[in-house]
Structure 1
Amino acid sequence: MHHSMKSDSFLRPGLIKYHNARRSNNPIKYLGSLVPQDITGATLEKFPMVSHSAPSPMSQLPARLIPSVLRPCRGGMLTLLALSTSLILSACGVGGGSSVWGEAPSGPGLGTSQTPTAQSATRGDAPEGTPGADNALTGMGGSTLALGDSGYLTPPPNAVRQIEGIPVAILVPLSGRLAGPGKALLEGAQMALFDVGNPEFRLMPFDTMGTALGAEQAARSAINKGARLIVGPLLADSVTAVRPIAEAANIKVVAFSNSSRVAGGPIFLAGFTPEEQVDAIVAHAMAEGRRRFAVLAPSNDYGNVSVDALRASVERRGGEFSRVGFYNPDALDFSEQIQSLSDYKSRVQALKQQRAELSAQGDQASKQALKRMEVLDTWGDPPFDALLLPVLDPQTLQILSAQLAYYDVDQPTVRLLGLQRWDSFPNLASEPGLIGSQFPAARSAYRDQFEARFAQLFGHGASDLSALSYDVTAVAAALARPSASGPKYDVATLTDPQGFIGAEGLFRFQENGIAQRGFAIMEVQSSGVRMIQEAPRSFDQPVTTYPPQPTEGTTPAQPTS
């Protein structure tokens, strides 16, 4: 790459712009300064801090019944059947035979449209009037619920009541600074509750207030109320606080955290761990022929976990773990780290040496070679052919991609790799330095259905946290089936090797407590972000490159933006 002058002055206007943009973002700031590892595949920064502004009215919800059919999988094939527009989670190999739930009950009050009250909260508000642990949420009639009957803040009296059934607690922050994410989690859980419609299942919400102490108190209350399973909490510190309580009560916890350090024993993590994401993108890169890996990471827990995960994955697969660089996550200039990581100054000196040797020879071929070298700033490639960038925000990625190209770390010589976090960043294709970069992403054929149903039900778009909570709650509801030994919340059932598939795609819990997921691989192209490898539909399915090579008379798949 040629630059007339190696000065960072050209970057200054852009850095100022990124600086101002970053400082204007949500004070939660991606939770990076709170618990960097607790980025559960969701964009928590989308949720504003708690406010008390006047809410906007929700649109009127339609009246229709949501009978659902949930069938266990056979032979490793995942089956999802739903009547109407309902989306439910498909369980594989659970309970043996097929089970049909959701026979539509008859009687007054079902199928009648209701308009939510004006007490709706804004998207970041703590949900006032949320039912407490004494009022477990349940579908009307125990099996189905009209869409209009599931208003978030003011459910109808006969939809929120104390009933007999298998109690499952959900621990989420319904007040405090994380009330916005907590509301999203509870909304996803409610939707799963109504869609699955299991009369044997009831959900008890408990407020953790977004703190470890609050989570501990909520867990004790849940145990006292007879909870057979705990769903949540969100953050790693809260999971740590809940662990001894769950161990003493001999019950399992399915938490939303993605911090693998808190997994194991009674704790199962539903969050998207960096380790799983790193391994997915390393596997793909090595299948493409990449062998020497480097990482440039933020100097925090999230960066440390990503570095350790890359080292383990590369060495396990027989590759070379080449270089490591760290940067201050609040910095706006990474030139020093990039130059060091890529041996930039050594490559500049190598170019000078090559020019000197050719000039000394003086023959025509050497002169032609010197002419061609006029556009070069360095000689030789960086000491790696794949570079992982586990960034937390799009502004940092924009600066990094520009400076990497500026210091001759160019694609396709070096493939830039990301993690699922990239999937939430807008306008990736507008950054020239990112063209050709790749990252893993959760992809499900049912996500569009989930998002449409969610918007219809709650009057606003679904977040990744809502989808995550939906899947976990659907599993809990699906496993709450009558049996001689009670609900199937034992390790053997939770770690069924065939797994589950839902709004966030294919997943299964492993005995170490970490959720294994099936990722698609996305590539940033000039026309948009395109899927180049499909997410597997089962854990027995080999990965397939997408789109397949078109046959004669067919049209290749188009990229998505």
Structure 2
Amino acid sequence: MRQLGFVLGLGLLAGCQTQVPAGMPQQPQMQAAPQAIEAPSLTQNALPPASGEVLGQGSVRVALLLPLSAEGTSAQIGREFRNAAALAMEDVGQDTLQLVIKDTGRDAARVQAAASEAVLEGSSLVLGPIFAADVSAAAGVTRPAGKTMIAFSSDRNVAGSRVYLNSFLPGGVVTRTVSYASQNGVRSVLGFFANGPAGDLAEQAARTAIQANGGVMAASVRYDANEASIQQAAAAAVPVLMQADAILIPDGGPTPAAILGALRSNGADLANKRLLGTGQWTTANLSDPALQGAWFADSDQQRLTAFKARYQGKFGTAPTANAALAYDTVVMAGSVVKRFGAGGFANSVIEADSGYAGYAGVFRFEPDGTTQRGYAVYEVAPGGATRVVSPAPRSFSGS
């Protein structure tokens, strides 16, 4: 049962377009579990020196683990999260927190070393890492030490005891899309799901949402990301298409158009079939007439405008939507400290039923470590424009 909680406003409200990476990182091959590190017994005014970039002079220390020196896009993502955290510290107040940013690269040993430093330096909370394998590595240190971690991976498999994920989990947007459709006349859904863990999660979320609203899954078709596989999947779907009110395609990019084209080439009649998608459709060509009238769930994209403008004004480049997660989490941590002090990062506070409100919209942490988020539903209009048909919630029902 959830504890009664409160809403923490995270600065100016803004939001984001959901970006879920294609595929999901595999679990790392972990070495033997490290020995538990005992956190030092410290008063708030007796923090030891910290290793890493230090932002703020607060008496409560929070560590942020990022792959700043990794190769390729990992470092770019790390820098975005670092910058978003720095922006958050401007709103938190320099005297509220001492945020210590630690470079982990993408090496499990370095991740564990950074987590060990965070524990020994008296961090009350650990934020990050970003990637699933790194989260598992860090949790091998923070969990035995009794430290709570809020990471940013979209792989729910790494969530658990004392490990929360503030991320865009693939199932959330699927649930919102299907639930809205079911409540607006769609009773039977034909689903196309990519092979792999992300597709498994999307299919599970769709089935659960459809059944919860009294509908049925007419069929579930799986495919690989190549033309031959999509053609084969479409051919298998045609015989059951007449039983479906809607076609669900969670993947974005060229996939929705490719699947619809394959259905037509196999003789399918798509008239009167509602198309359903997710926030990944923002990477698709929405001006394609075939997608007109489709519904898809995503975060309230208007909210992201303020965040992007602030970030670009300070750092000179536009951030991705995921950077808003770092901002929201740092400000959440500062809000908890302002209200409860260094001891505020208890499960009952983090799992507050009323959740938190931030640039990425309202969110709350589940007891299993995953995140529930509030999404809007959009309809694709002629020319590729979108309009909101169901606004994102501003709070959680019953909170």
TM-score for the superposition, normalised by structure 2? 0.82
Residue 60 (structure 2) pairs with residue 166 (structure 1): yes
* 2:217 corresponds to which of 315, 321, 339: 321
Residue 66 (structure 2) pairs with residue 209 (structure 1): no
SS in 2 for 1:480: helix
SS in 1 for 2:345: coil
SS in 1 for 2:130: coil
Q: Distance in 2 between matches of 1:257 and 1:455?
A: 24
Cα distance change of structure 1 residues 322 and 89 upon mapping to structure 2, 3 Å threshold: closer
CA displacement at 1:215 relative to structure 2: 2.4
CA displacement at 1:411 relative to structure 2: 4.8
- List per-residue Cα deviations over 1:313-343 (Å, max 9, x = no partner): 2223322122111111244662221010121
SS in 2 for 1:334: helix
* 2:286 corresponds to which of 428, 431, 435: 428
CA displacement at 1:282 relative to structure 2: 1.2
Higher RCO (CA 8 Å, separation ≥ 6 residues): 2
CA RMSD in angstroms comes to 2.8
Aligned to 1:137: 54
Structure number with the higher strand fraction is 2
SS in 2 for 1:168: strand
Q: Distance in 1 between matches of 2:274 and 2:367?
A: 33
Aligned to 2:366: 510
Letter in 1 for 2:246: A
Are 1:294 and 1:387, in contact at CA under 8 Å, matched by a contact in 2? yes
Aligned to 2:189: 293
Unaligned runs of 5+ in 1: 1-73, 91-131, 140-162, 345-380, 543-561
CA displacement at 1:383 relative to structure 2: 2.7
SS in 2 for 1:342: helix
Q: Distance in 2 between matches of 1:410 and 1:458?
A: 50
Aligned to 1:488: 344
Cα distance change of structure 1 residues 167 and 77 upon mapping to structure 2, 3 Å threshold: closer
Aligned to 1:498: 354
SS in 2 for 1:507: strand
Letter in 2 for 1:340: A
Q: Which runs of 4+ in 1 moved over 6 A?
A: 74-78
Q: Distance in 1 between matches of 2:378 and 2:138?
A: 36
Letter in 2 for 1:390: P
* 1:223 corresponds to which of 106, 119, 129: 119
Cα distance change of structure 1 residues 226 and 310 upon mapping to structure 2, 3 Å threshold: same
Are 2:14 and 2:306, in contact at CA under 8 Å, matched by a contact in 1? no
SS in 2 for 1:511: coil
CA displacement at 1:461 relative to structure 2: 0.9
Residue 86 (structure 2) pairs with residue 184 (structure 1): no
Q: Distance in 1 between matches of 2:6 and 2:269?
A: 42
* 1:414 corresponds to which of 261, 269, 273: 273
CA displacement at 1:510 relative to structure 2: 1.6
SS in 1 for 2:190: strand
Which residues of 2 match residues 32-431 of structure 1 at below 5 A? 87=12, 134-139=51-56, 163=57, 165-177=59-71, 178-331=74-227, 334-343=230-239, 382-391=242-251, 393-407=252-266, 409=268, 411=270, 413-423=272-282, 425=283, 427-429=285-287, 431=288
CA displacement at 1:518 relative to structure 2: 0.8
CA displacement at 1:212 relative to structure 2: 3.7
TM-score for the superposition, normalised by structure 1? 0.60
Cα distance change of structure 1 residues 217 and 290 upon mapping to structure 2, 3 Å threshold: same
Q: Distance in 2 between matches of 1:182 and 1:516?
A: 24
Q: Distance in 1 between matches of 2:279 and 2:303?
A: 18
Q: Distance in 2 between matches of 1:534 and 1:435?
A: 19
Q: Distance in 2 between matches of 1:503 and 1:538?
A: 13
Are 1:418 and 1:438, in contact at CA under 8 Å, matched by a contact in 2? yes
Letter in 2 for 1:422: W
- List per-residue Cα deviations over 1:47-105 (Å, max 9, x = no partner): xxxxxxxxxxxxxxxxxxxxxxxxxxx9978867x6xxxx4799xxxxxxxxxxxxxxx
Are 1:479 and 1:487, in contact at CA under 8 Å, matched by a contact in 2? no
Cα distance change of structure 1 residues 474 and 414 upon mapping to structure 2, 3 Å threshold: same
Aligned to 2:396: 539
Are 1:198 and 1:477, in contact at CA under 8 Å, matched by a contact in 2? no
Letter in 1 for 2:236: S
Q: Distance in 1 between matches of 2:327 and 2:372?
A: 17
CA displacement at 1:396 relative to structure 2: 2.5
SS in 1 for 2:325: helix
Cα distance change of structure 1 residues 170 and 441 upon mapping to structure 2, 3 Å threshold: same
* 1:468 corresponds to which of 325, 339, 345: 325
Q: Distance in 1 between matches of 2:269 and 2:68?
A: 46
Aligned to 2:21: none
SS in 2 for 1:496: coil
Q: Distance in 2 between matches of 1:201 and 1:79?
A: 17
- List per-residue Cα deviations over 1:216-265 (Å, max 9, x = no partner): 23212221222111111111222222223221111111111121222221
Are 1:444 and 1:505, in contact at CA under 8 Å, matched by a contact in 2? no
- List per-residue Cα deviations over 1:268-316 (Å, max 9, x = no partner): 1111112211111111010111111222121111111211222222223
SS in 1 for 2:51: coil
Are 2:249 and 2:277, in contact at CA under 8 Å, matched by a contact in 1? yes
Are 1:342 and 1:383, in contact at CA under 8 Å, matched by a contact in 2? no
Work out the percentage of aligned pairs sharing the same amino acid: 28
CA displacement at 1:456 relative to structure 2: 0.9
Q: Distance in 1 between matches of 2:260 and 2:193?
A: 13
Q: Distance in 2 between matches of 1:389 and 1:462?
A: 27
